[in-house]
Amino acid sequence: MIAMSVEYTDAPATRPEPSTGDTMPCPYCGHLLPKDAEHCDRCDWTRGATETAEGKASDAIAVILSIIPGLGHIYKGHRLVGLLWMAGAVPVGIFVLLAAIASAGFGIGLFFFYLIAVMLHAYAVDDRIVPPKEDEGEEY
């Protein structure tokens, strides 16, 4: 008996069209606006408030996000670097934990050195606008 159903293998995907084809919800109040709306007529949202023209990332936000090591880098588009910082935080965190146990909590301060390093780097690193298409490698 080989009549197992295979209908799901290459069934034509019934893609539900997004209901908001030519509209978008206001980021502030959710009011449906035309997709190219420059401002909301229900609240004070303007397109410039949430979209910077060049997609320029904010250094300050990158630093704040670096409270979680790597997040600031990912925010700026450096996903690989961000993940490396994140991965680096694990052994550093374990070391700090051991140091903290050994020194009655004092070692926790060591983690701030790591955080500061991450934050400085997140601040200094250039934005990397993520290309829409996957390119080879993440070199930089």
> Is 26 one of the binding residues for Zn ion (CB under 5 A)?
yes
Residue from 20, 29, 120, 130 in contact with Zn ion (CB under 5 A): 29
Q: What count of other Cβ atoms lies within 10 Å of the Cβ of residue 82?
A: 25
> Is 40 one of the binding residues for Zn ion (CB under 5 A)?
yes
Query: Residues with Cβ < 8 Å from 107, sequence gap 6 or more?
Result: 96, 97, 98, 99, 100, 101
Residue range at the interface with Zn ion (CB under 5 A); choices 5-13, 17-25, 38-46, 47-55: 38-46
Residue range at the interface with Zn ion (CB under 5 A); choices 18-26, 62-70, 86-94, 98-106: 18-26
Q: Which of residues 58-87 bind Zn ion (CB under 5 A)?
A: none
**Distance, CA of 2 to CA of 14 (rounded, Å):** 27
CB of 64 to Zn ion, least distance (A): 26
Residue from 20, 23, 42, 140 in contact with Zn ion (CB under 5 A): 42
Residue range at the interface with Zn ion (CB under 5 A); choices 3-11, 31-39, 84-92, 120-128: 31-39
What per-residue string of b and e applies to 50-65 under the rule 16 or more CB within 10 Å gives b?
Answer: eeeeeeebebeebbeb
Rounded to a whole number, what is the distance in angstroms from the first to the last CA of the chain?
56
Residue range at the interface with Zn ion (CB under 5 A); choices 26-34, 50-58, 70-78, 89-97: 26-34
In this complex, which beta carbon is closest to Zn ion, that of residue 42 or of residue 56? 42
Interface residues with Zn ion (CB under 5 A) are: 26, 28-29, 31, 40, 42-43, 45
